[in-house]
Amino acid sequence: MLDQKGIPFKRVDLLPVISKVVLKAQRFPGVTVPALKIDGERIQGSREIARTLDSIQPDPPLFPSDPKERSKVEEAEAWGDEFQHRVRQPIWWALKRDRSPLRSYSEGARLGIPIGLAVRTAAPIVALSARFNEATDDNVRADLAALPADLDRIDRWIEEGVLGGERLNAADLQIAPTLRLAMTMDDLRPFIENRPAGELAMRAVPDFPGRTPPVFPAEWLGGFRS
């Protein structure tokens, strides 16, 4: 969003779990990232950030000016905020089983400590994140069963012009990173990359670190084949 507005910024990446402590110490009201300090204000939550940026610098806008179009984008944006859980649970489930892909996800991260050290000490962070995010077998199985319909919904929004327009809007920027994260999983990428949703993800987030080899039981992925 900042790039699109042309607002220069400094990015800091925080390790999961540790992020809660750092955000509290930095006097943010909540414990989630993304979190932004701008013009002396602390703004948290991707939806809040989109609205704040549009009010600070209206051009180019993150929302359409037509009220009807705007409400459709807001609907997709709010849905996208929930949609992230669908992919976050599988990724933590996978990392809980095998932490070796973790290093690939840390490429280019600005953590303030060496990546190697972060990766070597990550076991409790992964375990806690999997627990906080309720990355259980049942939940992940349900996520994977629901994903095909989610992808259809995203493709429909693209067809209707709610997503994937000439200029990326707040909903594109909410949904595309989740799709991009899904595409780091070898189990999921083939079902996403060659459809409009996958093309949107690549356009919005061309570079996204990380790769997880196949990990899910074949029957959990059955929904993608039918």
Ligand X SMILES: N[C@@H](CCC(=O)N[C@@H](CS)C(=O)NCC(=O)O)C(=O)O
Q: Which residues bind to ligand X, rule: CB under 6 A?
A: 16-17, 19-20, 31-34, 45-47, 81, 84, 129
Q: Taking CA 200 as the corner, what is the angle to CA 199 and CA 202, rounded to the nearest 5 degrees? A: 65
- Least spacing, CB of residue 23 vs ligand X, in Å: 8
- Least spacing, CB of residue 70 vs ligand X, in Å: 19
List all residues 6 or more positions away from 83 whose beta carbon is below 8 Å from its beta carbon: 150, 175, 178
Q: Which CB, 47 or 51, lies closer to ligand X?
A: 47
Q: Which CB, 79 or 224, lies closer to ligand X?
A: 79
Q: Which CB, 130 or 144, lies closer to ligand X?
A: 130
Bridge-partner residues for 201, per DSSP? none
Q: Which CB, 72 or 88, lies closer to ligand X?
A: 88
Q: Taking CA 83 as the corner, what is the angle to CA 77 and CA 88, rounded to the nearest 5 degrees? A: 135
Q: Any alpha helices (H) in the chain, and if so which ranges?
A: 2-5, 18-25, 46-56, 67-97, 102-105, 115-120, 123-132, 137-160, 170-182, 189-192, 196-204, 222-225
- Least spacing, CB of residue 88 vs ligand X, in Å: 6
- Least spacing, CB of residue 218 vs ligand X, in Å: 28
